[in-house]
Amino acid sequence: MRLSVAFRHAHLSHASIRRSRAGVKVLNSENRRISDNSAVSHPWVREASSTSGTSETVTSFKSHPRKNDGPLYQSAVCDIVQRSREELKAIRETNPGLKPTLAIIQAGEDDDLLEVNKKMAGKIGLNVMQICLPRQCTEEEAIEEILRLNEDSRVYGIFLHLPQSFLSKSVRNAIKPQKDVDGVSDLNVGRVVLGDQRDGFASPIAGAVLEMLARHDAPLIGKMAVLVGVEGPLKATLQFLLQNNGMMVQTCQWSSKHLQKQIMDSDVVILLETDHKGLPPTWLRPGVAVINLSSALMEEHPDSWEHRAEAESGAGVGPLSAALRMQHVVRSSRRWIQEQQYQPWRLHPLKLQPLSPVPSDIEISRAQTPKPISQLAQEVGLLPEELEAYGNTKAKVHLSLLNRLQHQPNGKYVLVAGITPTPLGEGKSTVTIGLVQALSAHLKLNSFACLRQPSQGPTFGVKGGAAGGGYAQVIPMEEFNLHLTGDIHAITAANNLVAAAIDARILHEATQSDKALYSRLVPSVNGVRCFSPIQMARLQRLGINKSDPSDLTPEEVRAFVRLDLDPEKVTWQRVIDTNDRFLRKITVGQANTEKGNARQTQFDIAVASEIMAILALTDGLADMRARLGRMVVGSSRNGQPITADDLGVTGALAVLMKDAIKPTLMQTLEGTPVFVHAGPFANIAHGNSSVLADKLALKLVGEEGFVVTEAGFGADIGMEKFFNIKCRTSGLKPDVVVLVATVRALKMHGGGPNVTAGVPLPKEYISENLQLVADGCSNLKKQIQIAHLFGVPVVVALNAFKTDTQAEIDLVCRIAEASGASAAVQCHHWSRGGRGSVELAQAVKKVASQKNYFQFLYNLQDSVVEKIRTIAQKVYGADDIELSPEAQAKIDYYNQQGFGALPICMAKTHLSLSHMPEKKGVPTGFILPIRDIRASIGAGFIYPLVGTMSTMPGLPTRPCFYDIDLDPVTEEIKGLF
C-alpha cells in the first residue's frame, strides 16, 4: 500500500517533489549549464567498423557525426532547452504564478532517472515531482495515482517510468492526453499515425531519434531503417514518424531468423537491447547508424537499471529525450493557458418547427430533444472540469470559471422587467427566453438567459410552471420546475438547522448551569479541551483574548456560554417550499420534554429565507460563509443582536450550501444556454436571479455578447431592487431595460374588470377596446419613467396574444415611444420561438450600444426613513409614508446596532404601484403604511413590510396540483402547465 500524503510546493525557483513510502521530499534542482564534456564513453550513434567486411559497398547515407560527436548532440539539447526556456518565460509574463510540474511515476525508489530529468527541468525552470510506487505495485495503484495527477492543477506532464509489463493499455490510457508528454496513450499515438500532432504529443524518445538523424548531412528520404526489439506505442510512433520523413521501415524481433539480413540491408538500426548484448560487428556495414534506445528506457529486469542510468546521465538518447520531454511540459502548460482564455462560441442551435394551433407547453418541451449538457457546455466555452453534470440535461458550473476568465471583458447586460401585472403574469420569462433565442439562434450573437429557480409553492399553487411558455421556454420543463439540482432543498435544510439550533440553545441555557454548559460546549476529548475555530471567533467578539479553556474566569465563562436569547425577540422563522397558510402562526415546544419552553413562531415560504437572498447576492464561497455568519436570528434580553456565528452553526450552513452556490446550466428550446440560479420572491425579497450567474454569463458571452436577466414582478418592485440592491452588490451596470407589457394588462389598468386565474377572461380582454388600452398605458408610462430615474434606456416588448388586434398593438407602441421608450416592438416568441423576437433582439442590440448614465436612486448614507420615503414617492407615487410604532422602534434599534446604512428591500404587493392591490393604473394621493421592518443583515438589506404583506402564500380553492399526475407506466408527468 502506498502512503497517502499531502503534497506541498517548496519555495524554490525550481524544485522536484518526491513522494514515496517515506513521505514527501523536496529536492533542489541543479541549475548548471550543459557543458561540452558531459558525454559518456560509449556514444548512442556510432559508425560501423570497417572490419565488417563490407567496406567496398559503403552506403551514401553518411549518418556519422562530423567529428567530436558529443558537442554536436549536446548542442541539440542546448537548442531545445533554450527554446523551452524562452517559451516558458513568455508564458510567465502573462501568468507569473505558473510553475509547471512534470510528474514521474516509477516503481521503486531509484533516483537516477529523477536526477537526469531534474537537471533538465532546472535548466528550463520547471518542477519535477517523483512518485515512487512499490516495485511490485498493482495496475490499480498506478491508475489511482495517474487519476489523481490528472486533476492536480500543478501537473502539466505525466511520465510513466514503469516496467513494460506494467504499461498496459488501461494504465497508458488513464493519462489525460493533454498531460501525456511521453505520447503513450492511444489517442496520442493515433495522432502520430494520422500525421496530426497539433493537440498531442509524440514520444520524446522517438523525437530524439529524429533529432539525431536530422543533424546529419544526408537526407532521410529513401533510406531503410529497421527497428529491433522495439514494442508498444514507441514502435508505432517511431515507425510512422520515420515513414512520414520519407524513410522505409522494417520491424523485427531479436529472435527473427531474418535479423542479420534486415540489419545488413539497413541504413539505420534502432534497437532496444534488453538482455541482449548488442549486434555482432560483422552484421553492420560501413556508414550505418546504430541507435540504442536502452539508455532511455527502463528494461524489464531491474539489474540493468544501473547501466541505463549511467547512459542517460550523459549525452545521447536519454538527455535528448529528457530535453524534449521538458519541451512537451512547457507546451502542455501553454496549451492549458490557451484553453483558459476566452474561446469563441461554436453554438449549434436546435431547429424549431412551430405548430398552429400552439400545443401545450409540456407537449412542446417533450417534442424537442435537448442537446447533451456536456455538448452545450463545450459550445459556449466551458471546460470539462468546470462542469458537474446532474443527468444529461443539466449541470452545475464551477465558480473557478470566474478566475479563468477574470481578464475577459463583460458582454452587454440586459434586464427584463414588466409593467404592473395581472394575476396571470405578463410573460417576462417568456420574453427573456424568446429574446436570447433570437439573439443566439437567429442573429448569431452570443447570449445567455439568467433565470430564477421556480418555487414549488406557486408551481403547485396558482401559477403553475415558470420555464417560459410556448416556443420560448427552458427544457426539459419538468426538471426545471421540479427539484432541479436541489438548491431550494439545501436552503430549506440550512434555514431549519438554524431554527433548530435557536430553540435548542434556549432550552439548554434555561435548564443548565454555567459550568454544565461550558463542559458540554467545550468537552474534553482524550483528556484535552480546546475551542473550535468558531468558538475562538466568539471569544474575540467578546473581547476575551484567551485560547486555553482552563484560563477563563467564571465571568468570562458565563459571557461565553450564555447567548441569553429572548424567546419573544427571535426573528428567525422556519421555512417550507409549499404554500401552507396554516403555518403562518404556530406554537412550538409543547412537548413535555421541552420543559415549558413553548413559544409562538411561524413558517415562511422557503424562497423568502434570508439564506436564499444570500445565495442570490453572494460572490463566492468565502463571502457566502461570512454572510451566513452575520445573519441576525434575534436579540438577547439586553438588546444585543445574536448571529449564526454566535450559535456556532455557520460552518455547517456553508457545508449544506456548498453545491447550491454553483449556477445550474440548462438550455432553451433552440439549444441556447440558460443559467438557473436562486429564486428569491420579488414581493418579499429582492426578486432577482444570482449575481454569480450573471457574472459567469457575462464572461462567457464575450464583449460582443448579451446576458439577459429577469427581475420579478413589476418594474416598481423587481427592477427597483435590481438596481438599488443587486447592482450595488455586484458592481455591474445594466445597458438596457426590456419592459414587458401586454394589451391584456393595459386594459386592466385602463379600468377593465378583474382578472382571476382559472376563470375565463371577460369579453373586454378578447375584443378590441382602444380606449381601455390608451387609459391603461398610464401604467406603462410610469414604469418607463421609473427606469429613467436610474438613467437606463428602455425598450418596450409588447408580448402579443392572438386576441390582440393590430390597432391595439400599434397604439401601445406609439404611446410607449412618445413616453420616452427608445423602441417599442411587438413579440411573437410564444407562437414562433426566437424568430418571433428578432425585431426585439435588433432593437435591444441597437439601444444597448448607446451610452447610458446609470445611477442609484438614493445614497446609502441617507437615513432609513429617507430611503423608504424616496422609494415610496419617486417609484410608487405616494404622497408620503406612515410608520407604525413597531416600525419606528425597529428603525431606532437598527440604527443603534449600526445597520442603518443598508439598502432597502420593500415587501409590497406586486398587483399595484401602491400597497392596495385593487388600485390599478397609476394611483395617487395615498400614504404608504409601513407596518413592520425587518433586517437581513447577512443578505445586506433592511426590508419594510408594507400593508398586510404576508411571507407565506396560501393555496387557492383549486390549486394547480389538481391537474398534476404521473403515468405509472411511462413515468411521464401530466398537467404541469
Enumerate the active-site residues.
428, 430, 452, 463, 682, 713, 801, 830
Nearest to 778 by CA among 420, 415, 417: 420
At residue 701, what is the residue type? V
Q: Reduce the DSSP state of residue 178 to 3 states and report it.
A: helix
The half-sphere exposure of 740 on its side-chain side, counting CA atoms within 13 A, is 33
Inter-residue contact 427 to 433 (CB < 8 Å): no
DSSP count for the chain of H helices, then E strands: 34, 36
In SS3 terms, 777-832 reads as HHHHHHHHHHHHHCCCCEEEEEECCCCCCHHHHHHHHHHHHHCCCCEEEEECHHHH
Query: Cα-flanking dihedrals φ and ψ of residue 773, to 5°?
Result: -65, -45
- Work out whether the CA dihedral 873, 875, 878, 884 comes out positive or negative: negative
DSSP annotation string for 182-217: T--SHHHHHHHHTT--SSS---HHHHHHHHHHHTSS
Q: What is d(CA 18, CA 7) in angstroms, rounded to the nearest whole number?
A: 9
Interior angle at CA 11, CA 7 and CA 12, nearest 5 = 110
Inter-residue contact 870 to 861 (CB < 8 Å): no
Inter-residue contact 800 to 824 (CB < 8 Å): no
624: burial class by Cβ within 10 Å (0-12, 13-18, 19+)? Answer: buried
Distances (CA, A) of 834 to 80, 257, 472, 782: 54, 72, 7, 29
Q: Reduce the DSSP state of residue 412 to 3 states and report it.
A: strand
Query: Cα-flanking dihedrals φ and ψ of residue 361, to 5°?
Result: -60, -45
With residue 413 as reference, give the H or E element that holds it. Answer: strand 412-418
Q: What is d(CA 473, CA 470) in angstroms, rounded to the nearest whole number?
A: 7
Inter-residue contact 738 to 840 (CB < 8 Å): yes
Nearest to 571 by CA among 907, 898, 935: 935
Nearest to 454 by CA among 316, 579, 321, 299: 579
